[in-house]
Chain A
Amino acid sequence: MSGIHQFTDVQGERRRLLVALDGRIKLILMLVALGLNLLAGGIRFPLALLLLSTVAVTASGVQLRSFMRRMMVPIMLAFVAFVSQLFWYPEGELLRTISVLGFDLPVYQGALDRGLELCCRILGGMSVLLFFSLTTPLPELMRAAHAFHCPSVLIELALIMYRYIFLMFEEASRIRRAQKSRLGYVSFSNTLRSFSTLGGMLILRSYDRAERSFAAMRCRGYRGVMTAVVPSRLKGHDWGVLLVAGMILMALWTVR
């Protein structure tokens, strides 16, 4: 199970400005960028967001390769969305007719514009989300969400899930290694059998661990509140980045 590194947070990169930025500032910027991305028509604003996110990711110390790997799924979705729009809107000038299996499919200028707009909007929005997910550890994001009065139960659920995902990965890795060393994955049928056993065992062990963890929580006086989530004061560089980023977004908005 090699996917665990995908969830590794970026504590080690805190020295970089964009990563050390307060979670509340990042959350505000992310929501504003996504909102503007939805409202702005055309392709300039979303493409500018995509470019900005890519630059910001690189500046934060995250490998471009890692960012592009995560962008593959949105890129594929954007392509599907683009193609889906091409043949649905008979607006504007007829550009060409594509023949598929004996059917003539006309492509109009309006449909192309819509397709491109949707495609770019997906890419712009997802790049912003990915930038924030790669540079913001979940605990920090939850601290920010708490500051904005997000319901505590949702925050605690997110934090608990974040903590236990790693345990589940480790448990799954251990089971898989043990299965593999006993020829559990040498053939397709073996693989199916072993995988279903792994799934079942994970459920049982998760249940056992949940019981033990709850006992441990009770022993430390758990009353339904996980932690004292106290965000620190905003620093000078937080305000600085908020101002600069806000100005950039406004500038992009005016030239959209």
Chain B
Amino acid sequence: MLKIEDLHYTYEDGTPALNGIDLEIEKGEFVAMLGSNGSGKSTLIRHLNGLFKPSLGRVLFQGKELGDVEDREVFSKIGIVFQDPDDQLFASTVEEDVAFGPTNMGLPPDDIKERVHQALHMVNMQEFARKSVHALSHGQKKRVCIAGILAMRPEVIILDEPTAGLDPMGVHSLMHLLEELNREKGITMIMATHVVDLVPLFMSKIAILSKGEVLRCGSPDEVFGDAEVLERAKLHLPLIAELMHILKTRDNVNLHHIPLTVGEARREILRLLTVDDVKARV
């Protein structure tokens, strides 16, 4: 669906941000762009909807180069949610803001109203339709931003650090919403983040970025199994995986693999307890 070929980008002040990125994202995937601050995540995702033009290389969407596709078509199919919700909430009320995208698509008023209603319902903000934007909490603003993109019915949604500034419950709630949109609506999700613990819970594919390059791309098991890559990218394992890794390497606990989530760790621990229980009886 999205193909990035040898992407290079240098900022106007001469700072090289991307140094030859190659990546492919299939339809329906939930992809994490994982990297520390300054790794190039935000710069990369701004290329994915044509906001930034590459210095070298190209981005293909459904086989066509982004630069050759009309902006109108690109922006209606690829939505982007920025890190700071105040950067993309410009109307006075929630429903007016969500209606912004569909209005620009030239839809009739009835269609706009329907889309706004549906989008707000999807993010559970229908009660706030007439509320002023400035009266919303940070988490509510994030949801409205997502609703504003959903109202345009995109095929791809790109999110730049969507969990930034949210409390743990807010993070969980937002991630479940995104996962639901990916699973039930088939929307391809691309998320730039440095929150390692979230990734194995929700994402099917991870691209590790460091200094403008993709160091490794694959499933969570493949990527987190490569300790050298994690070190180069200045990342660490998810906390539960870190614990299990220490148990395996320092305490010689007989783990089949390093679990990445609490659920996996629980199953592995129960398996070990059952085995030990059997051994003790024998």
B192 at the interface (CB under 8 A from A): no
Q: Would you call A219 and B91 a contact (CB within 8 A)?
A: no
Residues in chain A near residue B75, CB distance under 8 A: 218-221
Residues in chain A near residue B130, CB distance under 8 A: 11
Given contacts A137-B132, A212-B84, A230-B109, contact A219 B103 (CB under 8 A): no
The CA-CA distance from A137 to B112 in the complex, in Å, is 23
Q: Which of A128-160 contact B (CB under 8 A)?
A: 137-139, 159-160
User: How many residues on chain A are close to B (CB under 8 Å)?
Assistant: 30
Given contacts A226-B100, A228-B112, contact A217 B90 (CB under 8 A): yes
Q: Would you call B84 and A220 a contact (CB within 8 A)?
A: no
Q: Would you call A162 and B92 a contact (CB within 8 A)?
A: yes
A95 at the interface (CB under 8 A from B): no
Q: Would you call A227 and B132 a contact (CB within 8 A)?
A: no
Q: Would you call B103 and A228 a contact (CB within 8 A)?
A: yes
Q: Would you call A221 and B87 a contact (CB within 8 A)?
A: no
Q: Would you call A223 and B88 a contact (CB within 8 A)?
A: no
Given contacts A139-B92, A216-B87, contact A163 B134 (CB under 8 A): yes
| Total residue contacts A-B, CB cutoff 8 A | 91
Q: Which of B117-146 contact A (CB under 8 A)?
A: 130-135
Residues in chain B near residue A215, CB distance under 8 A: 51, 87
Q: Would you call B104 and A222 a contact (CB within 8 A)?
A: yes
A197 at the interface (CB under 8 A from B): no
The CA-CA distance from A215 to B49 in the complex, in Å, is 11
Q: Would you call A220 and B100 a contact (CB within 8 A)?
A: yes
Residues in chain B near residue A9, CB distance under 8 A: 132
Mark B34-55 against chain A: 1 for CB-CB distance below 8 A, else 0: 0000000000000001010000
A256 at the interface (CB under 8 A from B): no
Residues in chain A near residue B91, CB distance under 8 A: 159, 163, 226-227
Residues in chain A near residue B148, CB distance under 8 A: 220
Chain A nearest CB from B83 CB (Å) reads: 10
B213 at the interface (CB under 8 A from A): no
Chain A nearest CB from B236 CB (Å) reads: 31
**Which residue of A139, A216, A218, A219 is within 8 Å of B93 (Cβ)?**
A139
Q: Would you call A212 and B82 a contact (CB within 8 A)?
A: yes
Residues in chain A near residue B71, CB distance under 8 A: 218, 221
**Which residue of A166, A209, A227 is within 8 Å of B100 (Cβ)?**
A227
> Nearest chain-A residue to B131 (Cβ)?
A11
Q: Would you call B101 and A220 a contact (CB within 8 A)?
A: yes
Residues in chain B near residue A218, CB distance under 8 A: 51, 71, 75
B76 at the interface (CB under 8 A from A): yes
**Which residue of B90, B96, B99, B135 is within 8 Å of A213 (Cβ)?**
B90
Q: Would you call B112 and A160 a contact (CB within 8 A)?
A: no
B212 at the interface (CB under 8 A from A): no
Mark A39-56 against chain B: 1 for CB-CB distance below 8 A, else 0: 000000000000000000
Given contacts A219-B80, A220-B75, contact A138 B92 (CB under 8 A): yes
Q: Which of A163, A167, A215, A221 has the most CB of B within 10 A?
A: A221
Q: Which of A181-235 contact B (CB under 8 A)?
A: 209, 212-213, 215-223, 225-230
Residues in chain B near residue A167, CB distance under 8 A: 86, 134
Query: Considering the complex of A and B, which 7 residue pairs feature the smallest CB-CB distances, nearest first?
Result: A221-B104, A216-B88, A166-B134, A139-B92, A220-B101, A212-B87, A228-B103
Give B residues with C-beta under 8 Å from A: 49, 51, 71-72, 75-76, 79-80, 82, 84, 86-93, 96-97, 99-105, 109, 112, 130-135, 148-149, 152
A-B contact pairs, 18 of them (CB 8 A): A11-B132, A11-B135, A139-B92, A162-B92, A164-B90, A167-B134, A209-B86, A216-B82, A217-B90, A218-B51, A220-B101, A220-B152, A221-B104, A221-B105, A225-B104, A227-B91, A229-B96, A230-B109
18 additional contacts, CB 8 Å, given A137-B92, A215-B87, A218-B51?
A: A11-B131, A139-B96, A160-B90, A162-B92, A209-B87, A216-B82, A216-B87, A216-B90, A219-B51, A219-B75, A219-B88, A220-B100, A220-B104, A221-B76, A221-B105, A226-B100, A227-B96, A227-B97
